[in-house]
């Protein structure tokens, strides 16, 4: 793609098109003390310019009446697997979502909607559904309310991306959608090509998932459903053993564990590059016994290639590397390990 040089007015225009909510108020913080405050003044081009150049941060109040042009999910842990998991789930619903490294810890995942805004309650309903499917129901969503009424004048602000002084440190920047461990090299190119979601897509998800007529499912095992239910296998569609291994790392059988996790991730539709990214992050959590070393990146790549080049689909329940992390509540248990032990 030919690179068009943007001047600061072009950048302000692009930025306002994506990160503009209420126009008469914004949030900011003191970069020395971290103290946040509300500024009841118009959001002018100067305010945006000060943000982009790192002079004063700008936090956007996304909710305008009952509409919003964007939504952000705040993952406050430094574990990239959660925002990636969210993006994968969102994609299944035809929603484009973009991961931003936040200013201090964790990630924001942004979804942008049609320029005139969409009904905020619909955006929140759909995102709550995705978070419930991931087992992350407590995660903060901005806007935090469906509408400004009942005494709510402004709602809550979220710090906007691309705060000048932090951009140089690789913070408040969007990651590469194809390789989320890396920062996207041209932030403005990414912002210019954002895929916005029309309200009709939200309506279709709400209807398909029957979201208007059900309360959000609580996290947990649904003992009445078939063993492939989404409730049971949620984080990347993974069973409990694999979720535990990914969250905690392993202390032995690192290569076998890596291979098995790659098979799980592949079976659930993750592409090779994302699987590799997740497994490299996973390896850092490993705590090998007997002073053994952590699996290397080359070994991870080799195991991942093996998993992707063949048609393995087994859950590997019989493998000691896996069944050490088995959970009896898994609905596969009755068909696999439970069957053998009766």
Binding site for ligand SF4 (CB under 6 A): 239-241, 315, 317, 322-323, 326-327, 330, 332-333, 336-337
For ligand SF4, which is the closer residue by CB, 241 or 281? 241
Residue 33: CB minimum distance to ligand SF4, A: 47
Residue 233: CB minimum distance to ligand SF4, A: 9
262 CB burial (10 A radius; 0-12, 13-18, 19+): buried
* Helix residue ranges per DSSP H, the chain: 8-18, 45-52, 81-92, 120-134, 164-167, 187-192, 199-208, 240-248, 254-267, 272-283, 297-309, 320-323, 337-341
- What is the rounded CA–CA span in Å between residue 150 and residue 317? 53
Q: Is the dihedral of CA 239, 244, 250, 252 positive or negative?
A: negative
For ligand SF4, which is the closer residue by CB, 174 or 333? 333
For ligand SF4, which is the closer residue by CB, 118 or 326? 326
Beta pairing partners, 99 = 109
Q: Could you give the angle at which helices 199-208 and 120-134 cross, rounded to 10 degrees?
A: 50
Residue 320: CB minimum distance to ligand SF4, A: 10
Residue 283: CB minimum distance to ligand SF4, A: 20
Task: Please state the φ and ψ torsions of residue 169, each to the nearest 5 degrees.
Answer: -95, 10
For ligand SF4, which is the closer residue by CB, 166 or 337? 337
Locus of tokens 């964790």: 106
Residue 332: CB minimum distance to ligand SF4, A: 4
For ligand SF4, which is the closer residue by CB, 150 or 224? 224
For ligand SF4, which is the closer residue by CB, 26 or 315? 315
Task: Please state the φ and ψ torsions of residue 109, each to the nearest 5 degrees.
Answer: -115, 125
Residue 262: CB minimum distance to ligand SF4, A: 15
């Amino acid at each position: 793609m030919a690179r068009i040089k943007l001047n600061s007015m072009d950048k302000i225009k692009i930025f306002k098109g994506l990160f503009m909510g209420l126009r008469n108020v914004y949030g900011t913080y003191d970069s020395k003390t971290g103290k946040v405050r509300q500024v009841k003044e118009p959001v002018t081009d100067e305010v945006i310019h000060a943000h982009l150049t790192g002079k004063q941060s700008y936090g956007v109040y996304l909710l305008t009446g009952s509409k919003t042009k964007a939504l952000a999910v705040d993952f406050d842990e430094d574990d990239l697997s959660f925002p990636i998991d969210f993006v994968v789930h969102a994609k299944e619903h035809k929603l484009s979502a973009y991961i931003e490294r936040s200013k201090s810890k964790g990630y924001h995942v942004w979804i942008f909607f049609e320029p005139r805004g969409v009904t905020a309650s619909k955006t929140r309903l759909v995102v709550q559904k995705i978070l419930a499917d991931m087992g992350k129901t407590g995660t903060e969503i901005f806007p935090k309310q469906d509408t400004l009424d009942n005494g709510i004048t402004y709602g809550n602000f979220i710090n906007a991306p691309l705060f000048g002084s932090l951009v140089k440190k690789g913070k408040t920047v969007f990651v590469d959608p194809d390789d989320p461990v890396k920062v996207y090299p041209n932030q403005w190119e990414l912002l210019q090509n954002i895929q916005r979601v029309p309200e009709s897509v939200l309506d279709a998800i709400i209807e398909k998932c029957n979201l208007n007529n059900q309360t959000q499912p609580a996290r947990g095992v649904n003992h009445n459903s078939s063993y492939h239910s989404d409730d049971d296998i949620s984080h990347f569609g993974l069973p409990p053993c694999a979720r535990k291994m990914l969250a905690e790392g392993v202390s032995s059988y690192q290569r076998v564990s890596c291979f098995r996790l790659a098979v799980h991730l592949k079976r659930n539709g993750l592409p090779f590059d994302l699987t590799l990214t997740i497994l490299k992050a996973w390896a850092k959590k490993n705590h090998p016994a007997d002073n053994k070393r952590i699996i290397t990146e080359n070994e991870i790549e080799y195991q991942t290639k093996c998993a992707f080049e063949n048609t393995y689909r087994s859950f590997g329940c019989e493998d000691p590397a896996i069944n050490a992390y088995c959970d009896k509540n898994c609905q596969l248990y009755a068909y696999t390990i439970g069957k053998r032990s009766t």
